[in-house]
Amino acid sequence: MSVDGKNRAFAYPTKAFFVRMITRDINLEDCILDLIDNSVDSAWNQEGSCPMGLGDGANLSRYTIDIQLLPDQFVIRDNCGGMSLDNAVEHAFSFGRNATADRDDFSIGVYGIGMKRAVFKLGRKVKVRSTFTQSDGSRLAFVVPIEVDTWLQNDAPPWDFDIADDNPLEENGVEISVSELTPGSASSFNSPAFVQNLRRIIARDYSLHMQRGLKIRLNGNPVVGWAINLLQSDDFIPMRVEYTDELEGDTVGIEIIGGMAAPPPESIDPDEGDDGDRRFGWYVVCNGRIVLAADKSALTGWGTEDWPQWHYQYAGFIGIILFTAANAAALPLTTTKRSVDTSSEIYRRARPRMREVSKRWISYTNQRKQALDEARKRESAAVSVPLASIAQRPAVTLPVLVAKPAQKSANVNYSVPVSRMKKLAQEFGNINMPYRDVGLRAFEYTYQDLVGKD
């Protein structure tokens, strides 16, 4: 027996693989973020593509990204310069970046799949419009219409999409519209909770870009970015270090900042549905984009090695680690760009430095329990400073507090129906009063009544 005449195994992809399969591994929100990333990359490119650290002063206030989620249509439109015709012909619509593509632009785009995956996830009828200025100074407009079902019918190469002339957009930029939405996108766009949540995600993950002036609108209303700031005083000084690392010939710039963003919580137990600690934890930023926000999990070290699990007591801490690289492939990104790739060497090497500042904060929150009044006094003296203005300093400074002997205390824990708790809170004058405070008030009230003054 021999393999004569059968010595090649067929290994050609099918279109359905790209339309039906790779769209399953990403959720709708992340697809929309992929499209925003492309607009941001384009704006960044217009501004000259420098490393997106904190120090530089790049200004994005000229740029607006407008997103509309309608019951039967999705539209994203930017004025970020547009996609050139050559780019459309050669790169933008191919699946996967080819080896010759320019990789030195500090972009967040890396794989060459985001836009295609996003539009396939969204719907069946797609229009990508672009208007840009050519090298001779004249403007050119084109459109790439995609009928997904028709395109799917034939797997034979070459795979391509038509490009046609188009009326120019008002400003240079790209407009992608998708109709005949997939059932999943249609029902999500109908959900006010989905839309609000998307707004929250955008507000958080693009907050550094919005601090540079970028405007993002969702269904007509501007998204207001999170303000990520740290507090500073003589007692509380954030750490900030900068260094570079190498990965297979690529240089990666790393910046770590950490410290107190708010005084720790009054109580060490989270109250009912309290989102009191949602801003705190570690932020991982890759070429300007926040890929992990306010993380309290093992991804940023909590609960690993000799590092404790996140506890509500640690709220108030914010740490930020920024990675920048001309070649985004060197960044510790997952393919969906919504998490950090913990197997990345660059990231693993940065972890001990992250641990150091986290541990100092943990020990401060333990210490302050013995000297609460003093701690609160000092904490309240710290003022908010923008990240960019924080000075270099290898370690965080936190006050050393001397413990006061405390009275032995009893902890009380009991449960009652929420509706009764709410009624009592309302009677105490604040329907949102934390349960703990209702409990204390109730205790004091009874104590006064039955025991009287101490």
- Backbone phi and psi for residue 220, each to the nearest 5 degrees, phi listed first: 90, -15
- Binding part of the chain for Mg ion, among 101-109, 171-179, 319-327, 403-411 by CB under 5 A, reads 101-109
Rg of the chain in Å (alpha carbons): 27
What x/- string results for residues 269 through 288 when contact with other proteins is judged by CB under 8 A? ---xx---------------
Q: Which of 48, 55, 137, 429 binds other proteins (CB under 8 A)?
A: 429
* Residue with smaller CB distance to other proteins, 191 or 244: 191
- CA nearest to 16, candidates 127, 160, 149: 149
Burial class (CB in 10 A: 0-12, 13-18, 19+), 154: exposed
Selection from ligand ATP, other proteins, Mg ion, none that 192 binds (CB < 5 to 8 A by kind) is other proteins
Rounded Cα gap, residues 84 and 45, in angstroms: 12
Residues 145-204 that bind ligand ATP (CB under 6 A): 174
Burial letters 160-177, b for 16+ CB under 10 A, else e: eeebeebeebebbbbbbb
Q: How many Cβ atoms are within 10 Å of 11's Cβ, its own excluded? A: 5
Integer angstrom CA distances of residue 305 from 172, 308, 358, 364, 419: 51, 8, 13, 20, 42
DSSP-derived pairing of the beta strands 164-165 and 173-181: unpaired
Roughly how many angstroms between the first and final C-alpha of the chain, as a whole number? Answer: 99
219 binds other proteins (CB under 8 A): no
Contact between residue 313 and residue 365 where contact means Cβ atoms under 8 Å apart: yes
In the complex, what is the shortest distance from the CB of residue 347 to ligand ATP, in angstroms, rounded to a whole number?
18
109 binds Mg ion (CB under 5 A): yes
* Residue with smaller CB distance to other proteins, 186 or 237: 186
177 binds Mg ion (CB under 5 A): no
Residues 132-151 that bind other proteins (CB under 8 A): none
200 binds other proteins (CB under 8 A): yes
Selection from other proteins, ligand ATP, Mg ion, none that 78 binds (CB < 5 to 8 A by kind) is ligand ATP
What x/- string results for residues 384 through 423 when contact with other proteins is judged by CB under 8 A? ----------------------------------xx--x-
Rounded Cα gap, residues 258 and 127, in angstroms: 44
Rounded Cα gap, residues 124 and 182, in angstroms: 7
Contact between residue 124 and residue 182 where contact means Cβ atoms under 8 Å apart: yes
Instruction: Assign 194 to helix, strand or coil.
Output: helix
109 binds ligand ATP (CB under 6 A): yes
Strand partners, 175: 77, 129
Residues 325-344 that bind other proteins (CB under 8 A): none
Q: Which of 99, 193, 400, 410 binds other proteins (CB under 8 A)?
A: 193
Q: CB under 8 Å to 93, separation ≥6 — which residues? A: 116, 144, 160, 161
- Binding part of the chain for ligand ATP, among 74-82, 262-270, 290-298, 432-440 by CB under 6 A, reads 74-82
199 binds other proteins (CB under 8 A): yes
Q: Under rule CB under 5 A, how many of the chain's residues touch Mg ion?
A: 3
* Residue with smaller CB distance to ligand ATP, 35 or 256: 35
Q: CA-based angle 205:206:209, to the nearest 5? A: 150
Selection from other proteins, Mg ion, ligand ATP, none that 273 binds (CB < 5 to 8 A by kind) is other proteins
What x/- string results for residues 163 through 192 when contact with other proteins is judged by CB under 8 A? --------------------xx--xx-xxx
Residues 26-45 that bind Mg ion (CB under 5 A): 38
Residues making contact with ligand ATP (CB under 6 A): 34, 37-39, 42, 78, 80, 82-83, 87, 92, 97, 109-116, 174
Point out which residues bind other proteins (CB under 8 A). 183-184, 187-188, 190-197, 199-200, 224, 272-273, 418-419, 422, 426, 429-432
